[in-house]
Amino acid sequence: MQSQTRYIEGKKFETRIGVHRVICDQPVSEGGSDAGMTPPELLLASLGACAGHYAAEYLRTRSLPLAGLSVQVSAEKLAQPARLGSFHVKVDAGHVDERHRQGLLRAVKTCLIHNTLATTPAIEIEIIDAVAELAA
């Protein structure tokens, strides 16, 4: 899995993955043009969409209604170092009995993004000079 992000202007970036693209920007109050989600907002959206997918699959395989399924994700912004912490995911699947509530909880906890955030991933950062690499 790979993405490509490029600077556009101001505080705006475009990320492409396959045929899809996402614009990230900063709010006007932070010097951006608010043309897209901020990177932290995109992270919350990713967690919410992943949790929603796993919840929907659980409900679908049990022929339970999906109408009204929604996910709300919040996180506290922390400092030293700057990061998001204390993620809170609320899944509203309407009225489901206790057995299905527990099953739904187990299903959502298998979400790829949840598991990635719950386990510290290795992140390698490399600074390159693409122009120099092309010339070599």
- The pLDDT of residue 136 is 65
Fold of 39-118: GMP Synthetase; Chain A, domain 3 (3.30.300)
Q: What is the pTM for the complete model shown?
A: 0.90
How confident is the model over 94-108, as a mean pLDDT? 94
- The pLDDT of residue 95 is 87
3-state secondary structure 51-120: HHHHHHHHHHHCCCCCCCCEEEEEEEEECCCCEEEEEEEEEECCCCCHHHHHHHHHHHCCCHHHHHHHCC
How confident is the model over 69-89, as a mean pLDDT? 95
Percent of the chain with pLDDT over 90: 91
Residue 41 pLDDT class (50, 70, 90 cuts): very high
Domain edges within the chain = 1-36, 39-118
